[in-house]
Structure 1
Amino acid sequence: MAGRLFIPSLDTERLLPGLRHDAPLITAANLSPRRPISHIRLEGGAMCLDRAFWGLTPPWLKILDHAPHCARAESLETRRMFREAFAARRCLVPAGGVYIWKPQPRFKQPFLVTSTNRRPLLLAGLWCRYHTTLTDHTDSMALITVPTSALLAPLSDRLPAVIAPDDAERWLDPGTPSEIAKRLLTPAPRELLGAFPVSRRVNDPMNQDSACAHPTGPMLRWNEQET
């Protein structure tokens, strides 16, 4: 499950040419849920970068602590919490990596899952809008998770789905049928993602220094020679 994100300064313009910035990219070495987060959505036919609360809060939600920060791809069309947003309000979160924790005999070892070439990842999500007045509103979002590949399964059973830049507009477009959008929610190709151990400083969300994302061991990655 995606509990924390590593979001360094990213060249979003190069990643998605023509991306409109309605708000600056939020960067963080150790971003936890229930915090503001940058996400990309389609507005007036153009991809734009804006901010939202990380934890999906539809208007009917009574208790904020029940706002989910992740949604399973398998339940998007069956759960009321996600069904409408998945059909009409899909988004992407640009990130450098996702932190996960591997159980050990005496503690949990944190790892950072990132692309093997260290390029930004576009994580699949969905969002909703809650109007507080006729003119004021609050946006919120949740990441969409899928089962991990065989390479990363020993570390975690689920990770956020990764959308290829070439599929970004199709994913964001509410005109894309749900059946087609759902086909994009597959585990990332095994050669795309790797993971390396990082300092246990990341266990505390108050720690926001760059050391949280520094490798403390070699990267675990797919090797063609092993197949």
Structure 2
Amino acid sequence: MFRSAFKSRRCIIPASGFYEWTGAKGTKTPHYFSSPDGRPLAFAGLWESAPNSQTNLLEDSTTIIVGPANEWMSCFHDRMPVILDWNDASAWMAGGDPGAFLRPPPEDALQEWIVSPRVNRSGVGDDEPTLIEPTVAA
């Protein structure tokens, strides 16, 4: 679906952070990952417009590109979002060589802490700022 978007419809998805879960099914522990300096992360993304099958109206969709985890992240998951250096944002948007961007970030690019399992409950306060506050694992 995103083959042509990779060539000509790139985007940057700014984010304060992202979640990853560890542990056994039913007892998973959520972790929050963010930039150590508090700056937004720049996820490499793609966008596409396609007709809605029911209305036939064009709808935009986006995807975050994921790739292999760096060594530090690999203890949490085997892949992670492709995080661009903000200095590379213009080159990514201009269609620069993807090989220069689609690589794991440096080991010190992220910080992590355990957050409340309430983050798993969709629809009820899922934009509540306290969901990213550090908590002690049960």
Shorter chain as normaliser: what TM range? 0.7 to 0.9
Taking the aligned partners of 1:160 and 1:171, their CA distance within structure 2 comes to 15
Equivalent AA in structure 2 for residue 168 of structure 1: A
The one of 112, 129, 137 aligned to 1:210:
129
TM-score (norm 1): 0.54
The one of 83, 93, 106 aligned to 2:3:
83
Taking the aligned partners of 1:182 and 1:84, their CA distance within structure 2 comes to 17
CA drift of 1:82 comes to 2.5
Number of the residue aligned with 2:47:
127
The one of 22, 26, 29 aligned to 1:109:
29
Deviations 1:74-97 (A, max 9, x none): xxxxxxx22211011111100000
CA drift of 1:181 comes to 2.0
Equivalent AA in structure 2 for residue 170 of structure 1: A
The higher relative CO (CA closer than 8 Å, separation ≥ 6) is in: 2
Pairing of 1:1-227 with structure 2 (within 5 A): 81-104=1-24, 107-130=27-50, 137-174=58-95, 176=96, 180-206=97-123, 207-208=125-126, 209-217=128-136
CA RMSD of aligned residues (A): 2.0
| Identical pairs, percent | 34
Unpaired stretches in structure 2, ≥5 consecutive residues? none
Taking the aligned partners of 2:32 and 2:14, their CA distance within structure 1 comes to 15
Deviations 1:29-84 (A, max 9, x none): xxxxxxxxxxxxxxxxxxxxxxxxxxxxxxxxxxxxxxxxxxxxxxxxxxxx2221
TM-score (norm 2): 0.86
